[in-house]
Amino acid sequence: MRKPLIGLAIAVVFACLLGSAAPVVAAENYMIDPVHSSFYFKISHSGISSVFGRFDDCSGDFTIDPDDPAKCSFKVSIKTESIDTNNKQRDDHLRSPDFFNAKQFPTISFKSTSVKSTSGGFQVTGDFTMHGVTKPITFTLTGGKKAEFPKGAFRTGYSTELTLKRSDFDMTKFAEALGDEVTVAISFQGVKK
C-alpha cells in the first residue's frame, strides 16, 4: 500500500514541476504607428449627401495580454487641429468655436476602462473625450493579425466602426444642415515596444 502512495506523490510532484515550467506569455506593449493608422468620419450634409473627413495627427499605445483580455488596454490621442476634409475653408470653420474649438480643446482622446474577448477581437469600453465632454462608449475591435515589417518591427492591428452623436458632446450648431450622427471608422497598427 505504501509503494503506490509514494508513486502517486512522485507523480504529483513531477506534474507540478512540469506545470510550473510551462512558458508564461507576457503582455505585449505597442505604440500606434500613425503612418499606418487612419481615423475617418462621415456626416450627413442637408440630408442629400455625406461629407467625409479624417484626422491626420494621432498617437497612442495599447497592451495585448493573450492570456487575460481584462489586462488589455487601449489609449489614443488625436490632435483636433489636424482635421482634414479636403477643403481649407471648411476645415478652418471646423476648427473654430462653432465646432471643435481646437484652441480650447486641442485633443480628442480615448482611454479604455474594460476589455473583453469576443470572436475575432475585443469588446472595448472606455472614456471618450471630445470638445471638453467625456462620455463612456463601447465598440468592438476586430483584427489582431501579426506581421514583421520591416525586419525587427513586430506589428499588429485592429479596426472598428461606430456611431457617435455630436450633440452628446455639446456640438449642436448648424443642426438644420448637418446630421447629428457621425459615423467613425478607425483602423490602426501598433509596433511592438
pTM value is: 0.84
* Domain residue limits at 143: 25-192
Q: What pLDDT, in 10s, does the model give residues 86-100?
A: 999 999 999 999 999
Please check whether residue 20 lies inside any domain of the structure: no
Q: What is the mean pLDDT of the chain?
A: 90
Please check whether residue 2 lies inside any domain of the structure: no
Please check whether residue 10 lies inside any domain of the structure: no
Q: What pLDDT, in 10s, does the model give residues 95-132?
A: 999 999 999 999 999 999 999 999 989 999 999 999 99
Please check whether residue 114 lies inside any domain of the structure: yes
- In total, how many domains does the chain have? 1
Average pLDDT in the 181-193 region? 97
Average pLDDT in the 50-79 region? 97
Cis peptide upstream of residue 150 (ω within 30 degrees of 0): yes
Please check whether residue 87 lies inside any domain of the structure: yes
CATH of the domain at 174: 2.40.128.110
Please check whether residue 3 lies inside any domain of the structure: no
Please check whether residue 5 lies inside any domain of the structure: no
Which pLDDT band, with edges at 50, 70 and 90, does 10 fall under? very low
Please check whether residue 7 lies inside any domain of the structure: no
